[in-house]
Amino acid sequence: MYNRRVVITGMGVVTPVGNDLETFWSNLQNGVSGIRRIAAFDVSQYDCKIAGEVRDFDPKQYFTNPKDVRRTDRFAQLAMAAAKMALSDSGIDLEKENRDRFGVLVSSGIGGLKTLEDQYTILLTKGPNRTSAFTIPMLISNMASGLISMEFALRGPNMCIVTACATSNNAIGESWRMIKFGDADVFLAGGSEAAIIPIGLAGFSAMKALSTRNDEPARASRPWDRDRDGFVMSEGAGVVVVEELEHARKRGAKIYCELVGYGLSADAYHMTAPPEDGSGAARAMQLALEHAQISPGEVDYINAHATSTGLGDIAETRAIKTALGEHAKNVSISSTKSMTGHLLGGAGVVEMAACALAIRNGVIPPTINLENPDNECDLDFTANTAKERKVRVAVNNSFGFGGHNATLVAREFTG
C-alpha cells in the first residue's frame, strides 16, 4: 500500500503558446514564442512592457453556472479550464469513480492578485461598504482547488501548496506521495497564475527581475544566453491527472508516463537568489533520483527551471553538474520558458506536460534565443531547434523565491 506505482493519464494546459495540448506541443516543437507587448492594460509607464498573456480565452466555456465567472478570479478560471481539459483527455468516467478517493491539488503561487488590486481600489475610492462579498473567496490561493472539487464532486484529499515558482511541481509531487501512501487513487494536480496586472508587473519590475527587451518581445526570454536580462512574466495554468497504475489499467487508460521520483529541498540562503553553487537545487534532484531508483547516467532529458536570469541560470547549470556528475554533458536540457515565459506557480505543471510529451513523442523541445551561450553555461541546452531523441527518463526542475526547490522524475511507461 505504501509503494504503489503512479502514472499520468491526462493533461490540460492554457498557456501563452496554446490553449490546448496539441497547439501547445506544436508550438514548443517549432520554437514559437508566446511573448508579446502587454495588451491587458496601459504599460507606457513601466520599465517592462512585455509578458506572456493567454489570448482568446473565454471562461464561460468552462463553468456550469455562468454566475461563477463573475465570482472567480482569472487564476481560478484558467485552472478550471485546464482541469476540464485534463479530465476529458484522461477519458475518466466520473460516474464510475469512487469520488471519496479522487483528490484535487491545484495551487497558485500568488492567487487572486487582480481581485485584491481591484477591491482595494474600490475600498479607497468608494469605501468599505462597496467592496465585494466575494473578495476573500476570489483572492485566496486555495480557491481553484476548492472550486474544481465542487464542480466535479471530488471528495478526496484537497489542498493548495504555495511555494512560489515551485508550487505546481510540489502539487504534483505531493499527489504522487498521497497515491503511493494509499490516501487516494486519482488526483487532478497542477497550478495556475494570473498576475499580469499593474501591481504584479510593478512589483517584479521594482526587483529588477524582468527583461526590458521591449522592442523584441519574442527574443526577450533567453535562458543561458550571455545577453539575458531577466525573466518574462506569464500567465496560464496546467493540470495533470495523476493516477494509481492498477486503477488506470482497469479502465484501459492511455498512459503518458510513470511518475517515479520527487525531491524537495530548501536553499536556506536568500529571499530571491539561489546560492551560487546551486547546492539546494542539486539536493532536490539527487533526492528525486534516489526515490526513483534511477542512476544519474539514465537521465535523458531535463526540462530546466532556467528563467533567463543572470544568477539563476548559472546556479542551475552547476546544480545539474553536481547531481549528474560526468553524465551532465550527455543529457539533453532545454528551457521551454524561452517560449512560454515564466508562468510562476503554473510553470512546473506546464513543463511536466512538456516532459510527458517529450517521452511520448521522442522529441526534445528547444531553448530558443540561445545565440551566444554564457561561458558559465556550457551543457547541451538544445539551442534553437528541437531534436529527436529517445527519452526514457525526464527530470523536471522548479525553484521558487524563498529557496524552495522541487524536482520530479518521470519515466517511459513500459508495463
Catalytic residue ranges: 165, 305, 342
Q: Residue 24 and residue 350: Cα distance in Å, rounded?
A: 9
| Residue type for position 404 | H
Cell triple for 62: 468552462
CB atoms within 10 A of CB 325: 12
- Residue 247, C-beta contacts closer than 8 angstroms, at least 6 positions apart: 185, 186
> Using CA atoms in the order 414, 19, 28, 35, what is the torsion angle rounded to 10 degrees?
-150
Q: If you search the block for the grid coordinates 511520448, which residue do you land on?
A: 360
Task: Report helix, strand or coil for 184.
Answer: coil
Q: 102 to each of 63, 148, 184, 233, 246, how far by Cα in Å?
A: 20, 11, 6, 32, 15
Cβ atoms of 265 and 287 within 8 Å: the answer is yes
**CB burial of residue 195 (10 Å; 0-12, 13-18, 19+):** buried
How far, CA to CA in Å, does 253 sit from each of 20, 154, 247?
A: 20, 19, 9
Please give the sequence-ordered ranges of beta strands (E in DSSP) within 76-220, or none if there are none: 102-107, 186-193
